[in-house]
A and B are shown apart, each in its own frame.
Chain A
Amino acid sequence: MNAPLLEVEHLTMRFGGLVAVDDLSFTAMDQRITAIIGPNGAGKTTVFNCLTGFYRPTVGRLTFHGRFGPVLLEREDGFRIPRHGIARTFQNIRLFAHMTALENLVVAQHNHLMRASGYTVLGLFGWKGYRAAERAAIERARYWLDRMGLLARADWDAGSLPYGEQRKLEIARAMCTQPKLLCLDEPAAGLNPRETAELAELLVEIRDREQIGILLIEHDMSMVMRISDQIIVLDYGRKIAEGTPEQIRTDPVVIKAYLGEAEDEELPEEVREDLARLGGGA
């Protein structure tokens, strides 16, 4: 049951001289929460952008075992990737601010509804099949609104929801695409401790009930340590450690990267490599 869902091999992304992601390899398992952590600017969001087709990787192979079998993500157009079953949220929320919460979730089911409306032609004349499909889409939206506790505010403009609810709505929107892999970019940013705890619970619930994989970028260590099955630590684009929360918690390399020791610079190259190998050997 725990097949690999996403295999990232030698992913490198350069912006001019800057190497944002450097030879990164990891595997995310199905029905597991894989967390990507690292200091600011470590290249986490860039990994997401490569996965979801917003950037074309400089080097690397990204195999996703999607809805229609394995697919090489780096060869796909960005807008086709969601069809294989990858959904994402954004670090800086990107909702359709002037559309209602419900509409946001219906738009997420666009491709399916488009087909059901006979590419608009049948829909124009109110074909029965389309109306049924639209009802089903609204039902799914209602389900997710309910799970997120947003049902009463379904007809609000997304932009007028409070911040925490916007974050939730974005997750609901991603779930409405019925993904196999859900990529969340700092979903707890800006939430208070209670909301964060609720979110953690929700993610575990999504993993178990929907049986999907989750890729999670997060700075809130307590949440990461609590719910992740596997953690990958990035620093300056490189993977410096990988393992279970217990392994990562005690990893000296990780601690160093986060706390930033002054001696770091003086470490001889060989020692640093040894340390990295040590950390990455999980």
Chain B
Amino acid sequence: MSTVATVGPRATAGGFDLARALKEAGLAAFVAFVLFVPLAGFKLVGQEGQLALEYRPHWVLIGTAAVFVGHLAINFIRAMRGPSQRARGEAGAMARFFTVHARWFGLAAALLAFLLPFTPLGNRYVVDVATTVLIYVMLGWGLNIVVGLAGLLDLGYVAFYAVGAYSYALFAQWFGLGFWEALPIAGVLAAIAGILLGFPVLRLRGDYLAIVTLGFGEIIRVVLLNWYDVTNGPDGISGIPRPTFFGLEFKRYSPDGMTFSQFFGIEYSSLHRVIFLYYLILILALITNWFVLRIRRLPIGRAWEALREDEIACKALGINPTNTKLTAFALGAMFGGFAGSFFATRQGFISPESFTFIESATILAIVVLGGMGSQIGVALAALVIVVLPELGREFEQFRMLLFGAAMVGIMVWRPRGLLAFREPTVRLHGRGQGEEAPR
């Protein structure tokens, strides 16, 4: 519970009141002690079918001491650095820098991404991880339409991802549709799912929407688990066709025509498909990015942001709130659907296990950490959140714990996200002209 430490005296620059800091750290440590005693001090262990207690007093002591020291340290740092306002200002300046130069960062990142498979780094493992990163980037950008622009908290985004994945899998299974034919269908079906869910609930208060979408995500999973005839239940669907390069398959031999390697006269390598998948998701993600950047500057995009700011004022200007929100919901869902079909074709196998609330929470964490409405922020957050667990088992284990703590921390510290800096959709004066706004 290191977050205990974030609550403390508003220290002013230069003045560090040791006695007071000690007292407050002591209080925090006491609370931490009370919290740790029952859950950390004792562990329930099964012994021959019977539960027993394992005693761990040292855990309590270590935890309490950590809170005490952490609290002191944070207060000390605050006192040294001046009011927390300044730290916020620094992060704000960084966010501003990133957003103002977004075009260059974006181009550089895209270029790097395109070259990645051909750099010395580009081995199978790295390209594979990069593909996963890009899936989350795309999902984050899709959800950003709903949460960042329209200000609607969607906790069941994974449902649309699942709709996309199962649409492709089932259309391939039943009608033999290939990836490219199924992709638009999957997107449309996900969008329809978004509309069906959104229509009744979008006129409700924002927090009701959150819990209804949370429930919806869960329902989709339950249905996928239990509707055996169609979804094959927990066993999932396997043998999903892999994508082809304009009809050329990525195999050594193919009974129905040429393969990719034969056509280009290169030696077959299983790496080809991995790289192809990577480029596929890279292009899908870039399309998503183009779409979001573009639509933000269109009337609908401005209306989304306006609705996020003040729904009543929107109504007084003749904006239909329900339809406008519904569009955001449907478009967000559509990109979830696209990403879902890609996921299906990449894995070749899907099951309900891939579509749990954890997944929704991860995507939301990416949007929240990266900065609501910030494309670059979301991409960076996706990178961090996917790569961190790859670095070691410890991260994997603490991943969700850290997400949770980070979401709380960011809301307390920088509620609009680490890299949230809003660039106006239209300007009257060039940058630096007109009167300088106070920051």
Contacts and interface: CB of A to CB of B under 8 A. Distances in A.
Chain B binds chain A: yes
Interface of A: 52-54, 78-83, 87-88, 90, 94-100, 102-103, 106-108, 110-111, 113-114, 117, 119-120, 123-124, 134, 138, 141-142, 145, 151-157, 160, 173-174, 177
Given A124-B298, A152-B434, A95 B313 contact: yes
Q: Tell me what chain A mostly uses at the interface: helix, strand, loop, or mixed.
A: helix
Given A154-B428, A177-B318, A96 B303 contact: no
A78 B315 contact: yes
B424 A79 contact: no
A82 B428 contact: no
24 contacts: A52-B316, A54-B312, A78-B315, A79-B319, A87-B317, A94-B316, A95-B309, A99-B309, A99-B424, A100-B427, A102-B428, A103-B426, A107-B299, A107-B302, A110-B317, A117-B299, A123-B299, A138-B428, A153-B435, A155-B424, A155-B428, A156-B437, A173-B317, A177-B317
B316 A138 contact: no
Size bracket of the B interface: 20 to 34
Contacts of A90: 312-313, 316
A111 B300 CA distance: 10
B313 A96 contact: yes
Interface of B: 291, 294-295, 298-300, 302-303, 305-306, 309-310, 312-321, 327, 422, 424-429, 434-435, 437-438
Contact of A114 (B294, B299, B429): B299
B295 A124 contact: yes
Contacts of A114: 299-300, 303
A82 B299 contact: no
B437 A82 contact: no
A120 B424 contact: no
Contacts of A81: 318
A163 B214 CA distance: 40
B420 to A, nearest CB: 10
Nearest to B429: A155
B429 A94 contact: no
Contacts of B299: 107, 110, 113-114, 117, 120, 123
A94 B313 contact: yes
Given A82-B316, A102-B427, A153 B434 contact: yes
A189 B321 CA distance: 29
A203 B214 CA distance: 49
Contact of B315 (A79, A95, A111): A79
Contacts of A153: 434-435, 437
A78 B318 CA distance: 8
A100 B303 CA distance: 13
B435 A79 contact: no
B319 A110 contact: yes
Contact of A154 (B294, B302, B320, B434): B434
